[in-house]
Chains A and B, each alone.
Chain A
Amino acid sequence: MSKKKDITLNINGRDHNLSVDPRWTLADTIRDHCGQTGTHLGCEHGVCGACTVLVDDSPVRSCLMFGIQADGKKIRTVEGLANGSEYHPLQKAFMENHALQCGYCTPGFLMLATGVLEAQPDISDDELNDVLSSNLCRCTGYANIIKAVRAAREEMRKTS
């Protein structure tokens, strides 16, 4: 067993001081040691994207990164998306457009879309389809996810 290392994970603006095993994935570290279980694991080999979080504002598969690699970085998860009781435009759009059924892949899609729309507010429909096809959903057939993310794109343009 490797020796534990002390790190600080900043998750949604709050510092978590941890002593981590270097082999803990970022996903396990966030879920099991910081109590933030909104980030879900779907495959643990980087294909499904359910575990997508933002690391320094870029979408990352948290199953493919070690917790220790995120030391000192700014991590955003689904728990930090709403502003108090006010939903993020993406959360609202997902509910209004029935873009979720079981909701297991939803946090990953929300964080992927947040990262992309913040970086590219004017992203085209085709480019958006390319990006969103990097995550898997088994319930919705995707059509409503596309509608929701496009609706949120318009809403976020208005407010930015």
Chain B
Amino acid sequence: MATATNRMLGHLGDSVERLEDPPLVTGKGRFVGDINFPDQLHMRIVRSAHAHGTIKSIDTSAAEAFPGVIAVWTNADIDDVPPIDFREGSDPTLALFRQYPLARELVRYVGDPVAAVFAEDPYTAEDAAELVILNIDPLPILINADETPQDFMGKATTEAAVVEQGYGDIETTFANAHKIVEIDVKVSRHTGVPMECRGAIGRYDEARDVLEMYGAAKVPHRNRDTLCRMLNRPASGMHLFEGHTGGGFGIRGELYPEDVLVCVAAIRLGRPVKWIEDRQEHLMAANHSRQQRHIIRAAVAEDGEIVGLDDELYLDQGGYIRTHGTRVANMTTGTLPGPYRFPVYRSVCHFRLTNKTPAATYRSPGRCESTFVRERLMDAVAVAMDMDPIAVRRRNLISLEEMPYGRALDVLGDSVEHDPGDYAGLLDQGLAQIGWEDLQKQLEERRANGEMVGSGISMFFEKSGLGPSDGAKIFIDNTGCIEVVTGGASIGQGFETAMAQIAAEDLGTDYRRIRVVHGQTNRIDYGVGAHASRATVLTGTAVSLTAQAVRAKALDMAAELMQTTAESLTITDGAVHSKNNPTGPSLTLGEIAEALLPTSKIRGDREPYLKGEEWFHIDHQTYPYGHHIAVVKVDPDTGGVEIEKYFIAYDIGRSINPMMIEGQLVGGLAQGVGGALFEEFTYTEAGDPQAVTFADYLMPTLQETPEPEILLTEDFPSIRTPLGIKGAGEAGITGAAGAIASAIDNAIGIPGAVTETPVSPQRLKKILREHGK
């Protein structure tokens, strides 16, 4: 570990500028749309305009005859390509519901790919795609997951799975309850919507028998493995390359039909194939998320303790099950209890297909939905018990003394065990910082004067650092250049900077001298990518362990060259010197690397090269925690909601770069505000999507996005990682809908009024009308 004497810019805890920024502010980024190969073809997908039906025929003749078109494919042309498999491996119970790259017998949502046109330029491909004629026999359309399930191909029903989790005796607990409080609440269908649409380029090098895909993101190594399984290729003959990525948010970078198609086409058409999605496609083809209805009840004791929680939920999965399988159902049922004790618990998730765009994970999957539901319930319990909403929460929080707190629940194959943390203590700090008591008085006065203003709170715990393992490699060459090679991914979150800061700490160098490699499957065998807030926790720890190993190797070689002991040496600004004499004789890392070359005589019997590779294994995820507080003003004339003030408290364990952590929280909140107030994919009864442009899918602009006040604490470093790191990517969004809904209830003086997000002006006006306000 570095000492105070060699501390310099860009080590752990410094809010330094990002390494990623210079190319991005000068237009030198290399996003997938910016990459071209000689002789490339352009692919355009023909999508179903029908929500559900049997394919009778697809007439491609006019498109094939169109000048500049090289090929038009339907499923018949690639019937040897299997449906897209699950990221975590095959699952026979769900296999039936997977999506083929091109629809085989059925179309199941508007946007379902039915044909692919390959042409010399993108304009031609788009023109020709309009000439493909799809002939469908309509089937009954199912829009709502809480309606009776339908038949699925005569082999199953659209209730693809029932996921149940819980512990304790629900029946007895509810039979003996002092009071039972029940609510019925919905989270709407919305999703990540990164600013860059998806894209993929397939390229096949026949001479070396290597298939390449550019435009990978999020989980390049996992997608390589799935593609290898599907296309029957060895990993050494299949490489995925991540370039700059214009936002991820969980939805980008999963293996989609288009990714498979460009790879297959590159081989079979013998030319590179480029596909760039347009926004209309994106809003009906990329993963949707979130849509759930929960009917949830609490068994409450006389003092406000919630002694049992019983939840039944309907998850709207859309047309197929994509790469995640039932992960969202698992995370929802596994994290619903949140930061509270709830000694008896059951959640039953009806995981159901409908005729809408397939759904999967979006930033804070499962926690975002369940936090809204749970915090709505906490407010309802407060009302039913005539208690203060803060007091009800306090009564039920898991205490520091009970930590680490295990539950018989599973989250992604990991049994939940809360990291030590002081939930009530952070609440005290948060309420004090925001001046909760005074705020309540001010809001009361303003309400007395006729204003509709109110406050609300939402508490949560997060999960991060999903295991089991990750590794990293560091190589220092004889010019002193330091390369850190990881299997992580950069989706815009500042991954390179974070990894460079971690490596710089142990290598005693400026973080700007470190090159970080990510998302290149030909550079490292294994990688976890960037999801589940795991990149900094897992990959960062692996980088730290590797940097320590390389540091030890450098000091060992230097000690011999300088005729001293390794213990007496340290590294400052890329040079090794005596701890006691910083200005005395020194050796640069480049000179030490030179001494360790395979041909070097002074290397002795040391392993060649100044390099290292270490692994980090974690047995449980880390569980950071926090809360959100919102203050809103409602305009009764328009139904509009203005967020006057917003506060986020979060315990990160240990900061790598506080500026970037705050950036994650503020950016996450903007998406949370979108989900709470604006964003929704609605459908007609015929299954037509009504939000396929940015004129209909409304994302917050600067005017609707509050700048939150942030309390970032490092009170409880994680016991699961040597650096104490916990994840930062999702806490900005998790608590948003719950806090905003609670504040709206408070502002309009109608407890429990908000039962559904987004609280659009139309919905809020309806609530006000129904209550004569």
Contacts and interface: CB of A to CB of B under 8 A. Distances in A.
B426 to A, nearest CB: 22
Contacts of B29: 38, 103-104
Interface stretch (B43-51, B160-168, B245-253): B245-253
Nearest to A82: B26
Nearest to B67: A1
B557 to A, nearest CB: 37
Interface in A53-93: 77-79, 81-82, 87, 91
A143 B668 CA distance: 12
Nearest to A128: B702
Given A47-B694, A47-B695, A110-B25, A102 B18 contact: no
Interface string B492-507: 1110000000000000
Contacts of A140: 663, 666-667, 670
Contacts of B34: 31, 37
Contacts of A96: 17
B269 interface: no
Interface in B243-289: 244-249, 278-279
B669 interface: yes
B491 interface: yes
A: contact size bracket: 35 or more
A144 interface: yes
A129 B702 contact: yes
B702 A39 contact: no
A139 to B, nearest CB: 5
Contacts of A130: 703
Interface stretch (B104-112, B191-199, B749-757): B191-199
A132 B703 CA distance: 9
Contacts, number: 167
Interface centre among A1, A77, A139 (most CB of B within 10 A): A139
Contact of B701 (A39, A81, A101, A136): A136
A135 B700 CA distance: 10
A52 interface: no
Contacts of B278: 44
B663 A101 contact: yes
A102 B492 contact: yes
Contact of A47 (B67, B192, B693): B693
B699 interface: yes
Given A43-B279, A132-B702, A103 B26 contact: no
B657 to A, nearest CB: 9
A100 B493 CA distance: 9
Interface string A115-146: 00000000000000110111111111111111
A144 B494 CA distance: 15
B27 A102 contact: no
B693 A45 contact: yes
Contacts of B244: 102-104
Contacts of B699: 136, 138
Contact of A104 (B246, B695, B702): B246
Q: A interface, by DSSP: helix, strand, loop or mixed?
A: loop
Contact of A39 (B22, B27, B279, B667): B27
Contact of A102 (B17, B245, B669, B694): B245
A36 interface: yes
Interface hub of B33, B693, B701 (most chain A Cβ within 10 A): B701
Given A95-B21, A98-B660, A104 B194 contact: yes
B24 to A, nearest CB: 3
Contact of A129 (B27, B279, B703): B703
Residue of A129, A133, A138, A144 ringed by the most chain B CB atoms within 10 A? A138
A9 interface: no
A13 to B, nearest CB: 15
Nearest to A23: B123
B671 interface: yes
Contacts of A135: 701
A68 to B, nearest CB: 14
A41 interface: yes
Contacts of B196: 40, 42, 102, 104
A104 B27 contact: no
Given A98-B660, A133-B702, A105 B195 contact: yes
B101 to A, nearest CB: 25
Contacts of B702: 129, 132-133, 142, 145-146
Given A138-B699, A141-B669, A98 B659 contact: yes
A139 B694 contact: no
B121 to A, nearest CB: 9
Contacts of B123: 21, 23-24
A54 to B, nearest CB: 13
Contacts of B195: 40, 42, 48, 50, 102, 104-105, 136-139
A69 B449 CA distance: 56
B28 interface: yes
Contacts of A102: 194-196, 244-248, 491-492
Interface string B629-661: 000000000000000000000000000000110
Given A40-B246, A50-B195, A103 B667 contact: no
B20 interface: yes
Contacts of A146: 702, 707
A81 B22 CA distance: 12
Contact of B17 (A24, A95, A107): A95
Contacts of B701: 133-136, 142
A43 to B, nearest CB: 4
A142 B732 CA distance: 14
B462 to A, nearest CB: 18
Contact of B666 (A42, A105, A141): A141
A91 B26 contact: yes
29 contacts: A37-B27, A39-B27, A40-B195, A41-B197, A44-B279, A47-B693, A48-B195, A78-B25, A87-B25, A87-B26, A94-B25, A95-B18, A95-B22, A95-B25, A96-B17, A98-B18, A98-B659, A98-B660, A100-B21, A101-B492, A101-B667, A102-B248, A103-B20, A103-B244, A104-B244, A130-B703, A138-B192, A139-B247, A141-B732
> Sorted from nearest, which 9 A-B pairs have the closest CB atoms?
A38-B27, A102-B492, A103-B24, A104-B246, A141-B670, A47-B694, A141-B666, A78-B27, A37-B34
Given A102-B244, A138-B194, A142-B670, 11 more contacts: A38-B27, A43-B279, A81-B27, A101-B494, A101-B663, A104-B247, A129-B702, A141-B707, A141-B732, A142-B707, A143-B705
